[in-house]
Amino acid sequence: MTHTHCIGIMADSHGQWNAIAEALAFFKMKSCDGMVHLGDICDSAHPETADTCVALLRSARVRSIKGNNDHTLVVNHAGYDTSIVPAGTIEYLKKLPLVLRYREAVFAHSLPFEAEKGLSCMIGTLGTHEIASFFNQYPHHLLFRGHQHAPEIVWRHRGRVAVQEILPNRPVTLRDRLSCIVTCGALDNGFCLIWEPDNQSIFCYKI
């Protein structure tokens, strides 16, 4: 049987290390070739869980993006000898990129416009202007993002912007929808995503 190349995607675990562990086990079961975390790995209000969350991602070689909670945690705890967050974890979070790219995909916590918006791209709203900017700057690409916690897909259909909820366990074909924007859904609500680049399809799962 031919193996289908697939990427496991999660976002917004918000310090729930057990949810990360479940997602990693699920992606392993699905034979994912790679994994991405779209940010808000940690919860800035519960720094005591940050080290475990980061250790899980690092041990599984998950490529990760900085979310606003991760940035806030760094600001609040970097350089303090009394912090409950180890310095190595702070340094890992500090060095996380705002955007990653792979093939025709762009990965961000909220918006991919780090050159224009800097750190504010982590919390920027996906409005009409931002959608149009992505379609214009990234023709035939897809954006995977977190930040908003409900899975959905946005694309241009007959000259208009179309929005559709992504339901668990139902494949969504992307081939005729590029450019498109896919919101992964929050892992702390049980949502994760698998992307099959060669088939141009995504699957949302509730774990």
Calpha distance 37→23 (Å, rounded): 10
pTM over 0.85, yes/no: yes
- Only one residue has tokens 């099959």, namely 196
- Would you state the pLDDT for residue 175? 87
pLDDT of residue 188: 95
Exposure string of 48-67, with b = 16+ CB inside 10 Å and e = fewer, is ebbbbbbbbbeebebbbbbb
> What digits encode the pLDDT tens for the residues 100-140?
999 999 999 999 999 999 999 999 999 999 999 999 999 99
User: Looking up tokens 């025709």, which residue turns up?
Assistant: 104
Domains and CATH numbers, the chain: 7-206 (3.60.21.10)
Q: 3-state SS of 177-205?
A: CCCEEEECCCHHHCEEEEEECCCCEEEEE
Share of the chain above pLDDT 70, in %: 99
pLDDT of residue 80: 80
Backbone φ and ψ of 164, nearest 5°? -140, 135
State whether residue 145 is helix, strand or coil: strand
Q: How confident is the model at residue 2 (pLDDT cuts 50, 70, 90)?
A: low
pLDDT at 1: 53
pLDDT-based confidence at residue 165 (cuts at 50, 70, 90): very high
Whether the pLDDT of residue 151 is over 90: the answer is: yes
Mean pLDDT of 170-185: 94
Band of the pLDDT at 207, cuts 50, 70, 90? Answer: very high
- pLDDT digits over 43-85, tens only? 999 999 999 999 999 999 999 999 999 999 999 998 887 679 9
